[in-house]
Structure 1
């Protein structure tokens, strides 16, 4: 068990804590949930950094890290959709969740084709993730100044989400087209 894998497992354990904190009937519940989400976002960055720095990348970590990320982000998106009950939050959330499903399936399929490197994480994906995490921290907190910053970041993340999806699909297009009839 490597340090990066321990951090990824810790992030998975934070998911139920995040959900419980969001719904605890106290005035500081959303702040606590935002803090737990922030902690998860930090561990996401840290486990990747340490895996590279300590040369502790493992197949288990390569599998589990994106799963932990997707579940945490999807949980946060579902919570803010339910909490805000606004089309202005729902549309970007649906875009982001849909993109994650499509790109995860694409990466799996490309790996089966022996072409996973064609859809490796790009700089657009990293910028998207940063905007997404900051937006979600702000929106989960519910504090008006953070919400004021979180809403535009949510839309920036949604645009980057679409941009990165188009980039990944374009990179995989020749393989998709070649195997479309098989």
Structure 2
């Protein structure tokens, strides 16, 4: 049972998405607290499912596939909602969200390609990728919450953290591309020879 728990947590994270969306648009202070709490639960399950899978040897092909998908669905949904609600200046939101989503697409495609080459380990999640994910989750929490904390606008804290996350996003993407570059160039050369 405990070996399956990581998969259940991943599925829970996906099921929380429509609840998060509904609460986000509910309105008022209750919306702020409830939507923030749901996103926080999703963020905790993201950490917990990975920890439990490693701790109790519960890593499975299903979980390996679904975990990053669940993460991206929740994060991208939250970023779209934040942009649509004008929690941030539209131009800034457009730039930051395009960078973050564009990186996710690029790195996902890169990992898929490297897996085909049998070299997926070269683009395994790095410490910088984990730090980026944590910063991004915190930024979203502050942007969803919106209320003042310790006399400081949560919105301003969230925007600042999202800028940092976007910079880390580009930095980590460049690291993955650098690690994969020799394999990508060799594969291109091989394909040219075959053609």
Structure 1 residue 168 corresponds to structure 2 residue 176? yes
Is this contact kept in 2: 1:31–1:142, CA < 8 A? no
- What corresponds to 2:164 in structure 1? 156
Structure of greater Rg: 2
For structure 1, list consecutive stretches of 5 or more residues without a partner in the other structure.
none
TM-superposed deviation, 1:35: 1.2
Normalised to the residue count of structure 1, the TM-score between the two structures is 0.96
Cα RMSD for the two superposed structures: 1.3
5+ residue gaps, structure 2, are none
The reply on whether 1:86 has 2:94 as its aligned counterpart is no
1:13 and 2:22 matched = no
Count of aligned pairs between the two proteins: 182
Specify the alignment match of 1:54 in structure 2: 56
> What SS does the aligned partner of 1:157 have?
helix
**2:85 counterpart SS class:** helix
Q: Which one is further off, 113-122 or 77-86? A: 77-86
- Greater Cα offset, 31-40 or 112-121: 31-40
Q: Distance in 2 between matches of 1:83 and 1:142?
A: 11
Match of 1:101 in 2: 105
SS where residue 34 of structure 2 aligns? Answer: helix
Alpha-carbon distance between aligned partners in 2 of 1:153 and 1:64, rounded to the nearest angstrom: 27
CA offset at residue 180 of structure 1? Answer: 2.6
Aligned to 1:34: 36
Q: Distance in 2 between matches of 1:32 and 1:87?
A: 28
Q: After the TM superposition, which parts of structure 1 deviate over 3 Å for at least 4 consecutive aligned residues?
A: none
Aligned equivalents of 1:141 and 1:88: distance in 2?
Answer: 19
Q: Say whether residues 1:43 and 2:29 are aligned partners.
A: no
Q: Which stretch of structure 1 is more off in the superposition, 50-59 or 78-87?
A: 78-87
Question: What residue in structure 2 maps to residue 123 of structure 1?
Answer: 127
- Which range moves more in the overlay, 81-90 or 34-43? 81-90
Question: How far apart are the structure 1 equivalents of 2:33 and 2:159?
Answer: 17
Distance 1:63 1:110 in 2: 15
